[in-house]
Structure 1
Amino acid sequence: MGKMQVLLPARRDATAWVYAAAGAVMIVVYLVTASAARYMLPVVIAASVVFAIAGGVIRNRPPSFLPWLLFAAAMVPYAVADAIWGMYQVRDAEVPFPGVADILYLGSYLLFAAGLVTLARQHSGRLHWAGWLDAGIVTLGFGILSWAFIIAPYLRSELSAWPLAVSIAYPVADLVLLSVAARLLLTTGKRTPSILLCSGWLLVLLAADGLYYGTMATTGTAIAEDVSEVGWMVSSLLLGAAALHPSVGWSTQLSDGKERMPRKRLSILIALILVGPLIVLANVGDIRGQPADITVIVGMLATLSLLLVLRIAFLAQYAQSRATEARTQAHYLAASLREQEELQKQLSYQATHDPLTGLANRALLDQRLEFALSRCSASFPAALLMLDLDGFKEVNDTLGHPSGDELLVDVARRLTARVREQDMVARLGGDEFALLAEGVDASVLCDYTRRILDSFRDSFILDRGHSVRVTTSIGARSITRPTAPAEALRDADIALYRAKTAGKNQAVLFETP
């Protein structure tokens, strides 16, 4: 039986770094070797990127193969152009300009741009104006630098039309790549290591291009050509490592709020607006003596400022929508809190009240007794009455439980009407009721119980037209000292039993032995 070999994440990560380390060794060899053969090392690195991308795509299976296939396709003419350039260097011959190598380089830049566009669509989603505005501001800011240090010097040179067009095509292609890359970076939420390596590839590539073509435009020769060459090789290695890293197969997420503008990004965008005035103030390349260059820079500054105003307008609109959303959420939250408060009130009421009659239940009565009886005295007595209906069972048996429930509701209504507002009437269960009256002494208690008995003289008229007559038996206890609720309830219940056995429809006062 064959064994299945599982490649652990750490080993998968190592592939990208081993590739980058091997390339770094080749770069070191390029720098320390004096042989003309070293000029072929960039060809080896560029060609290796094609195989690295192919291996990374097969191994890591990114969400979309198309951008990486375009990158691999772009590296093919790039490597061929490096081979042409290297062969001229090996023979110590001047590289034709413009030549086949330049056409191949520019063709590879078009494929790079196509790959970045598809990668941006994959990672950034649909068209979003806020992201494009940020990308446009970044592109124009660097476009001013490119104009001042590369394009304008080329235009003032004595180059003929074809060499001039090719010379200007390089910085323009760089700006296109920068624009697409800026949208990718500014609208992607969580950036994977693969995306960061891609960003490093592009930034190093653009920096090397800027150094090479900037010195060519201003001095007529490439200063520190080896530095640019090392930059191009490093950028190629970063692209290959990005394809080999397992995070190329991870799904990414959009930025949480594309309309938002972090403080750091806003500072960068504002700094880019200052690039043009600083170039003019520093009189770079005697630019103040070139009205046409000033006009172009002012035009780009105006466009950049317009984009920034639009971006701030988007930011204000986003802030307003978030404020509206926050107010709506606050309204819903307040409504939810009110509903929760009402629900809590209902639950609290249901926990302390009888669901049928709406009177206090035994739990609430016990709470009230605990408080009231603990402060009783001769000057501030209390009375506890226990009531049991006479003849209720017959009503239930003859008319049914619905009629019995209706009768209990009417009894609760009559009891509530005959007592004071501060007195508590409670239903203990079945046809048993209790009544707590504070400030009622023994001399008043007889009249109090008589008033309750009188409330049962009239018959009860039920909904179906049935007229029933029930009475009640009452056991009362007068409390003139702090007393435990259980003791008071026991004594009142004893008095109630005596009232029942004495013939019902009467009240008996518990006498303390």
Structure 2
Amino acid sequence: MGKVQGMLPARRDAAVWAYAAAGTTIVIIYLVSSSSARFMLPVLVAASVVFAIAMGLTRNRPPSFVPWCLLAAAMAPYTVADAIWGMYQVRDADVPFPGVADMLYLGSYLLFAAGLVTLARQQSGRLHLAGLLDAGIVTLGFCILSWAFIIAPYLRSELSAWPLAVSIAYPVADLVLLSVAARLMLATGKRTPSLLLCIGWLLVLLAADGLYYGTLATTGTAIAEDVSEVGWMVSSLLLGAAVLHPSVGRPTQLSDGDESMPRRRLSILIALILVGPLIMVANVGGIRYQPMNVTVIVGMLATLSLLLVLRIAFLAQYAQSRATEARTQAHDLAASLREQEELQKQLSHQATHDPLTGLANRVLLDERLESALGRCSATCPAGLLMLDLDGFKEVNDSLGHPSGDELLVGVARRLTGRVREQDIVARLGGDEFALLVEGMGASALYDYTVRILDSFKDSFTLAHGHSVRVTTSIGARSITRPTTLAEALRDADIALYQAKTAGKNQAVFFESP
């Protein structure tokens, strides 16, 4: 089953390639054939688009059928118009102008525009004003070209009102399609192959129209008519291939450049803005000596400049919003980093301090003690005091553990008030405490120990007015040479045991055997 599923995309692509190959064959036959029957080949190509759209909708199931149905409906009068044009060509007769074929062509262009507007809304969602401004600048730039090379020459011709109106309607219809095509191209980011083929159809169609009507307006005859005809046939084939391609069923990615201004888009807009001044400088068709044409082009240039100013305003607003967003993100990031730093400090403090009393715990004591022991000498002595409270169990048993915890906090507060700022006071667990002092010889350590012992003479006041008195037993060890951590702790513990055994509430200094 997996193998069959893996072949399905390839089979769908094969339909596109087969359609393109058949269409290319028809185009080649049109170019190499000298028979008058070749003028009916464009009819075959145009009709094939209707069937290609029907097959593509059935096979690929796009998100919305409406735009493609409108494009298929547009190809129907387009095909009939091609048939009328081809029959006159086969008989080597002049095609009536304006005639039924022209009405059908213009009607198909209206349906093309409706289908493209629907497709643009489907592909790009809601219309952003910045994107509309870009599309307007592109359209106005080509309006100036269309006016200079197509519309103005028609207005200078001797055509009567009705033929003149129909002649001008073709470039106007092209400009409408161009505006929708510009919006479609500027609104989408990552384009699917189907959308690229659809855009290709529009660009080739507009290029063929521009070549045909431009040369017809300026010279009176369509130069290289076969080139335009091939362009129209190729554009029709691209439209058919667009709906046959499997990617027609996939949504496109919206462009994030609607508010911003990518460099390539900016270059295109600047080039289009320069079109008008270049036409005036080159004096195309003697346009500088025609007040009406000068007025129209200057008016379009003024409108173009206004659109550009609005676009720049949107760009500035976008840049400001991005800068504000960046500042907000930077502020949030800094706050997050501060919170993380505070959290790390808290975690580090919790890892090395007793949660009840806030004193250093055994981990921090061992770390500091090991560092101090490595530096000890006769000129740089250190002292280690191990304390064990006397009578703490009776307080716990009589008043309860909360009172016992309160007593431990009071002991910690009293010890830190009696020691130097650089000394380390640690709670080892239960009612056991330790003090690490540096830079203190044996004699000074003795006085220091007595001062610590005397600090327990006063009773401790607990909550609810309870006053309790506990004493402490101290085991002290003076260190005047490099000593291991285990040895120092062992010696202080021995001295503490001797103090407890001797009757408590006293201090014993360790003496080496």
User: Post-superposition shift, 1:4?
Assistant: 7.8
Q: What residue in structure 1 maps to residue 457 of structure 2? A: 457
For 2:492 and 2:55, locate their aligned partners in 1 and report how far apart those are by CA, in whole Å.
Answer: 93
1:20 maps onto 2:33 in alignment: no
**Aligned AA (2:255):** S
**3-state SS of paired residue (1:464):** helix
Change (3 A) 1:485 1:6: closer
User: Post-superposition shift, 1:8?
Assistant: 2.4
The 4+ residue runs of structure 1 with deviation greater than 4 A are 3-7
**3-state SS of paired residue (1:508):** strand
For 2:484 and 2:307, locate their aligned partners in 1 and report how far apart those are by CA, in whole Å.
Answer: 81
CA deviation digits over 1:199-226, x for unaligned, max 9? Answer: 1000000000000000100111111000
**Aligned AA (1:86):** G
- Over the aligned positions, Cα root-mean-square deviation in angstroms equals 1.3
Alignment of 1:459-478 (within 5 A): 459-478=459-478
User: Post-superposition shift, 1:125?
Assistant: 1.1
CA deviation digits over 1:44-100, x for unaligned, max 9? Answer: 110000011111111111111110000000000001100111111111111111110
**3-state SS of paired residue (1:200):** helix
Q: What residue in structure 1 maps to residue 346 of structure 2? A: 346
1:491 maps onto 2:473 in alignment: no
Change (3 A) 1:281 1:79: same
Deviates more, 1:193-202 or 1:285-294: 285-294
Q: What residue in structure 2 maps to residue 415 of structure 1? A: 415
Q: What residue in structure 1 maps to residue 368 of structure 2? A: 368
Q: What residue in structure 2 maps to residue 243 of structure 1? A: 243
Q: What residue in structure 2 maps to residue 441 of structure 1? A: 441
Q: What residue in structure 2 maps to residue 115 of structure 1? A: 115
CA deviation digits over 1:183-209, x for unaligned, max 9? Answer: 111111221111111110000000000
CA deviation digits over 1:382-424, x for unaligned, max 9? Answer: 0001111111111111111101100000000111111111100
**Aligned AA (1:115):** G
Deviates more, 1:12-21 or 1:168-177: 12-21
**Aligned AA (1:259):** E
For 2:356 and 2:240, locate their aligned partners in 1 and report how far apart those are by CA, in whole Å.
Answer: 79
User: Post-superposition shift, 1:466?
Assistant: 1.6
Q: What residue in structure 2 maps to residue 42 of structure 1? A: 42
Q: What residue in structure 2 maps to residue 181 of structure 1? A: 181
**3-state SS of paired residue (2:389):** strand
- TM normalised by structure 1 equals 0.98
For 1:5 and 1:385, locate their aligned partners in 2 and report how far apart those are by CA, in whole Å.
Answer: 80
Alignment of 1:313-332 (within 5 A): 313-332=313-332
User: Post-superposition shift, 1:334?
Assistant: 1.2
Change (3 A) 1:437 1:264: same
User: Post-superposition shift, 1:11?
Assistant: 2.4
**3-state SS of paired residue (1:434):** strand
**Aligned AA (1:462):** L
Q: What residue in structure 2 maps to residue 131 of structure 1? A: 131
For 1:4 and 1:447, locate their aligned partners in 2 and report how far apart those are by CA, in whole Å.
Answer: 93
**Aligned AA (2:149):** F
For 1:285 and 1:352, locate their aligned partners in 2 and report how far apart those are by CA, in whole Å.
Answer: 90
For 2:15 and 2:263, locate their aligned partners in 1 and report how far apart those are by CA, in whole Å.
Answer: 37
Alignment of 1:238-277 (within 5 A): 238-277=238-277
Q: What residue in structure 1 maps to residue 8 of structure 2? A: 8
Deviates more, 1:170-179 or 1:494-503: 494-503
For 2:324 and 2:229, locate their aligned partners in 1 and report how far apart those are by CA, in whole Å.
Answer: 54
Q: What residue in structure 2 maps to residue 355 of structure 1? A: 355
User: Post-superposition shift, 1:7?
Assistant: 4.8
Alignment of 1:95-110 (within 5 A): 95-110=95-110
Aligned length: 512
Change (3 A) 1:405 1:5: closer
Q: What residue in structure 2 maps to residue 148 of structure 1? A: 148
**Aligned AA (2:20):** A
For 1:456 and 1:14, locate their aligned partners in 2 and report how far apart those are by CA, in whole Å.
Answer: 96
**Aligned AA (2:188):** T
Q: What residue in structure 2 maps to residue 73 of structure 1? A: 73
1:215 maps onto 2:203 in alignment: no
**Aligned AA (2:341):** E
User: Post-superposition shift, 1:260?
Assistant: 0.4
Identity of aligned residues (%): 85
CA deviation digits over 1:4-37, x for unaligned, max 9? Answer: 8775222222221221121011100110111111
**Aligned AA (1:184):** L
**Aligned AA (1:418):** R
For 1:259 and 1:118, locate their aligned partners in 2 and report how far apart those are by CA, in whole Å.
Answer: 22
- TM normalised by structure 2 equals 0.98
Deviates more, 1:280-289 or 1:341-350: 280-289
**Aligned AA (1:383):** G
**Aligned AA (1:336):** S
For 1:344 and 1:4, locate their aligned partners in 2 and report how far apart those are by CA, in whole Å.
Answer: 56
Q: What residue in structure 1 maps to residue 431 of structure 2? A: 431
Q: What residue in structure 1 maps to residue 379 of structure 2? A: 379
Which runs of 5 or more structure 1 residues have no equivalent in the other structure?
A: none
For 2:197 and 2:253, locate their aligned partners in 1 and report how far apart those are by CA, in whole Å.
Answer: 17
